[in-house]
Amino acid sequence: MLGLLLFVCAGYYAVPLADSDFWWHIAAGRDILQRGALPMVDPFGVFPAADVIRNDTVLKGQWLGQVVLYGLFEAGGINAVVAFRVAVLLACIALIYTRARWLAATNPLALWAVLALVALNAFGFGGERPQLLSFLFAALFFVCIDLARQRRDWRWLLPLPVITVLWANSHGGVILGVLLLGLWSVLGWLDKSLSSRERGQWLAVSGAVFLASLLTPNGIQTYLYLLQLEGSVLQQRTSEYTSTLQLYALGFVWPQLWAYAWFALAALGLTGLLWLRRWQEVAVVAFLAAISISSYRYFAFFLFIAAPYLMLGLGRLMPENLGRVATLRRVQALVAGILVVVLISGVARGTVFRGGLYQAAYPIAIADFIEQEKLSGSAFNNLEWGGYLLWRLGGQVQPYIDGRMLDMSRFPPYTHILWATPQGVQLFNRGNFQLVILPYHGRFDPQRYKLIDYLAAQSDWRLAYRDAQGVVFVRRAARDFFGGRP
């Protein structure tokens, strides 16, 4: 049953690569390997080092994950990265099942209801970024915690500092692991079955994990950056920070329904955990639920960490006869039938086991044109295309902005310029741009960018290229346009 579930999930998780941040991550990984050192300032020259904490955190805080992604891309191209994404998500689901068995959370209805919702919701977390490693490390982190608790042997906690070091150098999500382990260890003092020595061992490992999280190029700055980010303009303008309860505002209807179903299931599971007096599990589930309601970017951790505990709590609420072998077989037969139908449907529609690149997400033809015509100079671009332009045209074209957002003060001027407000026009003219590279509108907003219409009416700008994705404008005075051709 687990094999069938993973096979179906693999089919649906194997979709073309479409993440806008992927390109600047592998560009950073390439730069790190070529230089043999971590960058101290923006290696692409897009942003000044205006904010030291943000600059250091973004440039160096994910170096291991960026090197891994670039290595995969160099070794096997886009499909190697897609396969890595699929493998990580499947590993997280398999570890949920394994942890559930250790916890004896094997009620068939609870088990397959939770796994089904994890599988559905995990589809939204296939972004090819270092966060994939963060999900895997979080799942492994709680494998150690569950083994140590169930077997009353603190030695299962010894791998945690090693996992933490790898996690901390791959993604800032390590802070979540440190906080949850600390919370778990403190609440361990409420567990009367633990001796004082055992409680001390848990706290000691928690301290060691915190120190291990500082073994990065940024040290304590990783924590300071998280505090700095709260309430910032970037957080307000980034879709990842949308509440998981408001995904519909971004146009995500089905993901919203699956998220609502998960929270409903979580509420029931939390009730069962309270009944069982599993205070540490209650605290972990409640904490993850709270931060997931606040921000969608934490929702994957809620899925991969809390799922076995919810199975345990749900099993407590269900009648005992639902756990009998006959019931198990009926549930498995039903689930198997559903999975086969879902797989056949995906094969018929051609929506499973795909790879490659989702070309509509990137200005591929536009970059080809710029390379062919040897256009160069400072370019105003939209944020989502910035990473791809860095990867394809770095050194030839200087983007104005990209997804790293090392300088958050650049975002308000960027918005004004996009919409050609009076202030934006002044900022644009002072920018001394030679190129403008834009799609017609944003990913979540169908309204046409006003800057395109403004430039079309300017005598010193010429529309050099356009296709279904976007446009390229060239300043007439910047070069003898097309080698002198009119």
Q: Is 463 helix (H, G, I), strand (E, B) or coil?
A: strand
Mean pLDDT of 31-49: 93
Alpha carbon distance 198, 186 (integer Å): 12
Report the candidate in 92, 80, 95 with the shortest Cα–Cα distance to residue 22.
Answer: 80
Question: Quick check: 58 pLDDT over 50?
Answer: yes
What is the spatial distance between Cα 355 and Cα 381, in angstroms, rounded to a whole number? 28
> What confidence score (pLDDT) does residue 237 get?
64
CB atoms closer than 10 angstroms to residue 409: 13
Model confidence pLDDT, tens digit, residues 186-223? 998 877 788 889 999 999 999 999 999 999 999 998 88
**pLDDT for residue 227:** 76
Query: Residue 282: its pLDDT value, please?
Result: 96
**Exposed (0-12), middle (13-18) or buried (19+): which is 325, by Cβ within 10 Å?**
exposed
d(CA 480, CA 419): 29
pLDDT per residue over 325-370, tens digit each? 667 788 888 889 999 999 999 999 999 999 999 999 999 999 999 9
Amino acid 149: pLDDT: 92
Query: Chain-wide mean pLDDT for the chain?
Result: 91
What is the average pLDDT across 298-307? Answer: 97
Confidence of residue 98 (pLDDT cuts 50, 70, 90): very high
**Tokens 């070091």 found at:** 165
Helix 422-430, helix 411-418: angle, nearest 10: 110
Range with the poorest average pLDDT among 165-174, 239-248, 287-296, 448-457 = 239-248
The predicted pLDDT at position 325 comes to 65
State both tokens at 331. 């549930």
pTM: 0.92
**Counting Cβ atoms within 10 Å, is residue 113 exposed (0-12), middle (13-18) or buried (19+)?**
buried
pLDDT of the residue at 444: 74
Residue 26 CA to residue 45 CA, distance in Å, equals 16
